[in-house]
Structure 1
C-alpha cells in the first residue's frame, strides 16, 4: 500500500511539472523501541529504488529520531551554539554590552527557540543540555563566574529558562489557535469547556480536559493534550486576555 501510494504521488508530481527524487528520499519509522528494533529488515520499493529505515532524518532543520528522544537534534544545537559562543568570547573584550547580546540572540537564542515546542515532555537530560547553553551565554555576557548562581543573572537579563521557553511557545500557539491566528489543523484540536449544567467553571474560560493517553512519554506530548493541560493551569486574567502583545507580556511575567 505504501509503495502504491508513493507511486501515485510521483505520477501526480510528474503531471504537475515536479519530481520526486527517490534516490534522495529517506524513510523514518517512528514508534516504541520494541517496534523499531524489529524494523531493520523492512524495505520500501518505489519503482527502481529501495528505501530502508534510517535511525534519524532532518526535516525543516529538525533532526527526528525513530523513538523521538531528540538527542541528535539537541546535540546538533549544542555543537552549533558553542561554536558561536567561542567566537563571541574572542570578540567580547572589545565590544560593548549590547553588541555581544545581539550576537547571542542572533546565533544562540534563536537556535534554542526554533521549533522548541517539539521538546515538550522531553527528559531532564535533554533539557539540561540546552539550559547549559543558555547559562554559558549569560555568564559570557555578564562576566559571571561558574561559582556564582545563574538564576539571579537570568532574572536580571529577563531571560526565561529553557523549560519555560518551551511552555511559553506551547501557550502562545494555544492562544493563537483560540483567536483564529493559527492554522485550522491546530484550531480543530482545541475545544472550549462547556459543562452540561451551571457550574463555577462555566465562566472560567477553560479548555476541555484532555483525554487519557496510553503512553505518557508519547501521548502526553501531543498538542491536543499539552495545550489544554498547560492553559488550564494559567490564572484566569491571563486566560481571558485576547490581545496578543498583552498576553505575551503577562505570560512571560507569570512564568
Structure 2
C-alpha cells in the first residue's frame, strides 16, 4: 500500500487499537469515523446549527447551487444526508462503485459549487452530501455513485483539475485517486441474502474491529497482524474496494 490514504488507514488502526476496550462495535465505529474534523467553536460558527450548514454550500432552499441542481436532479433528505438523483434515472439501478470527494471543511464554500457543477455537467446519476455540521466534518462528506468505473474515472479526472489546490481531508479505507486523498473510490460488497446491506467502509471496519480484538498485543504494532488476519479471510487489498 502507498499514498496518504493508506497511511491514514494504518494510523487509524494503530490509534483505535490502543483504546482500552474490547467492544467490537465501538472499535468499528471509531475506525469508521476516523479522520473526521473536530466539532468546535470554529465549526459551529462556520456551519451553524442543523441544516443551516447547507447554506454554506449554496444548498439551502433558494441557494444558487440548489437552484442549479433543481433541473437535472431530484433532492431528498435522509438521516445525516441530502441526496440527489438524476431526474428520469432508473431507480432500480444498483451503482457498482462510488467516488469520495473529501475537501477540508474550510474549503467547502469554494469547492462544493465546483463539485456540483462537475457532477451535473458530466451526468453523474446520483450523489449525496452530509447534512449539518457533523455531516460536513466527516471525511466521507460527499459521495457520488456510478454503475460504470470508466465514468467514475472521467469525473475524477475533471474534479482533480477543477479542484487543484483544494486542501484534502481524506477518507480512510478508500482507494486514493488524486489530490493527496482529496479524491478516492470504493466498491460496496455484494449484498448477502437476508443481511442488511453495508457500505465498503462499514463492511471493512467491522472486520478490522474483529481482527483488532483477536490479534492485538500490548506494545506491538497491530497493523501487520490485522492485515494477516484479514488476508486469512480472503481480504488482502483492504485499502481498496
- Give the TM-score, by structure 2 length: 0.26
Higher RCO (CA 8 Å, separation ≥ 6 residues)? 2
Work out which of the two has the higher radius of gyration on C-alpha atoms and give 1 or 2.
Answer: 1
Name the one with the larger strand percent.
Answer: 2
Name the one with the larger helix percent.
Answer: 1
